[in-house]
């Protein structure tokens, strides 16, 4: 795993010394992504750079790297898990590879197949390949967007980096908040790709590649999440599906164990991580290191299940207990790595957990992300089903009670009964024909945070509706999919790709130089699950039905049968306790709020007083205060305070210079 960066000045002659300086500045602020070594390739008006976290072929996998002809040069962040099989395919063509790493396989596959190489890759990646003869950059990102890739462009220049902060080290790139993007985040928890929170900074969307030439920049989709209509669903029975799914998932785990370093696993105490752990132990019965996070606040704690699973699988388990004070202390660090406002404190404990992993000298962890999206595990899928059931008899006093059972931790449902349910879940209850129905309620509740925007932001938004923009970007066959498939698509392509795999996934792990691997997101598993009948996934209100059938007898019964508990972390005690750091109150002060121009200081102050006085704080208010704190921190770090980007570059860097005689010089 690595961090990559590069820039291409299309027309103006630029010295290699100047380009080298630019690349070093970008790499300097993302060196947490690759602390082991670094390298830079320089050509006329082009520079590519990499910082490396050595996992495969540690001795000879240095980047930047070229193909066998020396024509193509690559910088690469990720893992292609089927690289040994692809290597054999390359060697059958009479090509001798110089290394044993997947980086060389990627660049050689591109040399052979061009952009079609992407369909051969099973992995998680973001990379850039330079073709000196065509004066062309080729950039690509994995199918689900597990690995990040950001870029900036103007008429004369192009730059890219694994993280936005790298781009901000370049003097010509301005820094300002994109108000429409903030409105999107305060609706969907993330932006609508390719947008980011900043003006003129974009991400390459998941499942896309990009060709950059002086005269044009072309972006194309090579893969997308798809669901069949009823005639093309999986034709086997449930037992057939269980066996086929088990074989696919086991192979996904097997190839993700490929590494020249130790691979560990997160063990959350839930179904997904327990299944992954059981498969790892089945494939490799040796010692497995597992890690889990618990909370001193027992309302959020799942430690009992974590210890039960660790004992059941006989793993070498490391448990970490997190307090509200620790979350508060590390929250600003979280925003430094997410580069996005967030509406939950949950990413911070994940950052602290990855720190514990790194302290054990482990670089790779296997996790269970993706199962909930593929197999309808989240409560939002059941919620949509219940709301449709309720909408058939909107005056019913019994049907809304199902929602209270679904969300026992929501105080307004617990105390308010049907009144609370109708107030919270009654939004557009009868609009069941809307293709976005499953998510309209969540997006509506989240978007209430926008009531805290300053008058200036409201004026700039001028009535902008993010939900309308989403509806205009739906796939052509979306209306023909089942209601559950529609829900799954929205959850996977927006929430999972934009938030879960980014702010809570890649960024929190790589902040401590740890790579996460996700067997459920093997594209073969994704495509298999998308073809399954709905009742194989959500059987009545029994979520992840197929996975539970598959795991019977393989994991503790208590974990299989336990109610789904969403991963959450404390919010109000984090920001408003006696031990909360002064930086929190500073960022929420009237002066700070006025300085950013993002929020209305009177409304923010009213929210703070409400939280300090009331016993039960609504989900919306908790999201609001987290969003405000994180957006304020984002503005302070990336817009107002430029000194944080002044940094040295302590790594020894391998420099490759392309001379005018076409000879490559290694310095």
User: Per the domain annotation, does 450 fall within a domain?
Assistant: no
2 is catalytic: yes
The domain that holds 261 is classified in CATH as 3.40.50.620
The pLDDT of residue 647 is: 62
| Mean pLDDT of all residues in 458-483 | 95
| Mean pLDDT of all residues in 603-631 | 94
Higher pLDDT, 562 or 163: 163
User: Per the domain annotation, does 618 fall within a domain?
Assistant: no
User: Per the domain annotation, does 360 fall within a domain?
Assistant: yes
Q: Which of 2, 101, 128, 322 is catalytic?
A: 2
In 3-state terms the chain splits into helix, strand, coil percentages (rounded to 5) of 45, 15, 35
User: Per the domain annotation, does 612 fall within a domain?
Assistant: no
Q: For 490-512, what is each residue's pLDDT tens digit? A: 999 999 999 999 999 999 999 99
User: Per the domain annotation, does 363 fall within a domain?
Assistant: yes
Same-domain check for residues 316 and 339: yes
Residue 171: give the domain boundaries.
Answer: 2-181+192-225+650-666
Same-domain check for residues 75 and 173: yes
- Which residue, of 526, 561, 596, is where some domain finishes? 561
Measure CA 560 to chain center.
26
Q: Name the pTM for this structure.
A: 0.95
Same-domain check for residues 238 and 197: no
Q: Is 476 exposed, middle or buried (0-12, 13-18, 19+ CB in 10 A)?
A: exposed
Q: What percent of the chain has pLDDT over 90?
A: 83
Q: What is the 3-state secondary structure (H, E, C) of 172-235?
A: CCCCCECHHHHHHHHHHCCCCCCECCECCCEECCCCEEEEEECCEEEEEECCCCCCCCHHHCCC
The pLDDT of residue 666 is: 45
The domain that holds 220 is classified in CATH as 3.60.20.10
Residue with tokens 């704080």: 617
Same-domain check for residues 36 and 166: yes
Q: CA neighbours within 13 Å on the CB side: how many for 423?
A: 13
User: Per the domain annotation, does 80 fall within a domain?
Assistant: yes
Q: For 40-55, what is each residue's pLDDT tens digit? A: 999 989 999 999 998 8
Residue 418 has pLDDT above 80, yes or no: no
Count of the separate structural domains present in the chain: 2
Same-domain check for residues 533 and 548: yes
Dist CA 441 CA 418 (whole Å)? 17
Contact 147, 126 (CB under 8 A): yes
Name the band, by pLDDT with cuts 50, 70 and 90, for residue 423: low
Q: For 514-532, what is each residue's pLDDT tens digit? A: 999 999 999 999 999 999 9
Residue 648 has pLDDT above 50, yes or no: yes
Q: For 265-308, what is each residue's pLDDT tens digit? A: 999 999 999 999 999 999 999 999 999 999 999 889 899 999 99
Q: What percent of the chain has pLDDT over 70?
A: 95
User: Per the domain annotation, does 452 fall within a domain?
Assistant: no
Same-domain check for residues 146 and 294: no
Same-domain check for residues 260 and 305: yes
Residue 116 has pLDDT above 70, yes or no: yes
Same-domain check for residues 177 and 268: no
- Which residue, of 523, 546, 561, is where some domain finishes? 561
- Which residue, of 544, 561, 578, is where some domain finishes? 561
User: Per the domain annotation, does 155 fall within a domain?
Assistant: yes
Same-domain check for residues 221 and 269: no
Same-domain check for residues 76 and 150: yes
The pLDDT of residue 566 is: 82
Residues 6+ away with beta carbon under 8 Å from 2: 33, 34, 50, 51, 52, 53, 63, 75, 76, 77, 78, 162
Same-domain check for residues 53 and 175: yes
Residue 662 has pLDDT above 50, yes or no: no
Same-domain check for residues 263 and 299: yes
């Amino acid at each position: 795993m690595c961090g990559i960066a590069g820039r291409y000045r299309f027309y103006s002659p630029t010295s290699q010394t100047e380009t080298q300086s630019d690349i070093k500045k970008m790499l300097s602020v993302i060196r947490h992504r690759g602390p082991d070594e670094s390298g830079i390739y320089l050509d006329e008006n082009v520079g590519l750079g990499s910082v490396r976290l050595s996992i495969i072929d540690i001795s000879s996998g240095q980047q930047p790297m070229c193909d066998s002809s020396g024509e193509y040069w690559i910088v690469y962040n990720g893992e292609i898990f089927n690289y040994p099989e692809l290597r054999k395919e390359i060697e059958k063509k009479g090509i001798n590879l110089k290394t044993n790493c997947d980086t060389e396989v990627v660049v050689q596959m591109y040399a052979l197949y061009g952009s079609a190489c992407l369909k051969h890759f099973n992995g998680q990646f973001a990379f850039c390949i330079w073709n000196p003869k065509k004066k062309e950059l080729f950039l690509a990102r994995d199918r689900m967007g597990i690995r990040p890739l950001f870029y900036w462009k103007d008429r004369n220049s192009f730059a890219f980096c694994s993280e936005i902060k790298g781009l901000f080290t370049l003097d010509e790139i301005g820094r300002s908040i994109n108000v429409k993007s903030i409105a999107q985040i305060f609706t969907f928890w993330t932006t609508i790709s390719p947008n980011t929170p900043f003006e003129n900074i974009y991400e390459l969307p998941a499942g896309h590649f990009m060709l950059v030439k002086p005269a044009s920049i072309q972006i194309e989709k090579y893969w997308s999440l798809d669901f069949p209509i009823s005639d093309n669903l999986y034709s086997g029975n449930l037992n057939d599906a269980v066996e086929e799914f088990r074989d696919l998932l086991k192979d996904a785990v097997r190839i993700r164990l490929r590494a020249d370093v130790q691979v560990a696993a997160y063990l959350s105490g839930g179904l997904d991580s327990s299944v992954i752990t059981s498969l790892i132990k089945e494939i490799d019965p040796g010692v497995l290191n597992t890690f889990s996070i618990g909370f001193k606040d027992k309302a959020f704690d799942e430690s009992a299940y974590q210890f039960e699973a660790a004992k059941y699988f006989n793993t070498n388990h490391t448990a970490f207990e997190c307090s509200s004070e620790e979350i508060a202390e590390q929250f600003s660090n979280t925003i430094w790595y997410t580069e996005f406002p967030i509406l939950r404190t949950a990413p911070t404990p994940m950052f602290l957990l990855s720190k514990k992993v790194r302290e054990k000298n482990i670089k790779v962890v296997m996790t269970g992300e993706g199962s909930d999206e593929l197999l309808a595990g989240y409560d939002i899928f059941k919620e949509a089903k219940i709301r449709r059931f309720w909408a058939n008899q909107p005056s019913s006093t019994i049907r809304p009670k199902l929602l209270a059972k679904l969300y026992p931790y929501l105080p307004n449902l617990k105390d308010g009964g049907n009144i609370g349910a109708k107030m919270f879940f009654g939004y557009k209850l009868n609009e069941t024909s809307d293709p976005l129905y499953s998510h309209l309620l969540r997006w509506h509740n989240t978007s209430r945070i926008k009531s805290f925007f300053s008058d200036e932001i409201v004026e700039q938004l001028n009535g902008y509706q993010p939900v309308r923009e989403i509806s205009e970007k739906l796939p052509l066959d979306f209306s023909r999919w089942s209601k559950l498939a529609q829900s799954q698509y929205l959850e996977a392509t927006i929430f999972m790709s934009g938030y879960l795999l980014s702010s809570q996934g890649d960024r929190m792990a790589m902040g401590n130089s740890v790579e996460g691997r996700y067997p459920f997101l093997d594209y073969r598993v994704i495509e298999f699950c998308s073809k399954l009948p709905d009742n194989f996934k959500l059987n009545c209100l029994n979520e992840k039905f197929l996975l539970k059938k598959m795991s019977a007898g393989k994991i503790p019964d208590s974990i299989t049968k336990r109610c789904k508990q969403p991963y959450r972390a404390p919010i109000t005690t984090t920001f408003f306790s006696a031990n909360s750091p002064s930086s929190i109150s500073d960022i929420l002060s009237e002066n700070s709020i006025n300085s950013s121009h993002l929020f209305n200081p009177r409304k923010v102050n009213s929210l703070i007083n409400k939280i300090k006085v009331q016993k039960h704080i609504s989900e919306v208010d908790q999201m609001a205060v987290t969003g405000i704190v994180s957006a304020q921190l984002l503005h302070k770090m990336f817009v107002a305070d430029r000194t944080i980007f002044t940094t040295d570059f302590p790594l020894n860097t391998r420099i490759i210079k392309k001379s005018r005689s076409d000879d490559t010089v290694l310095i």
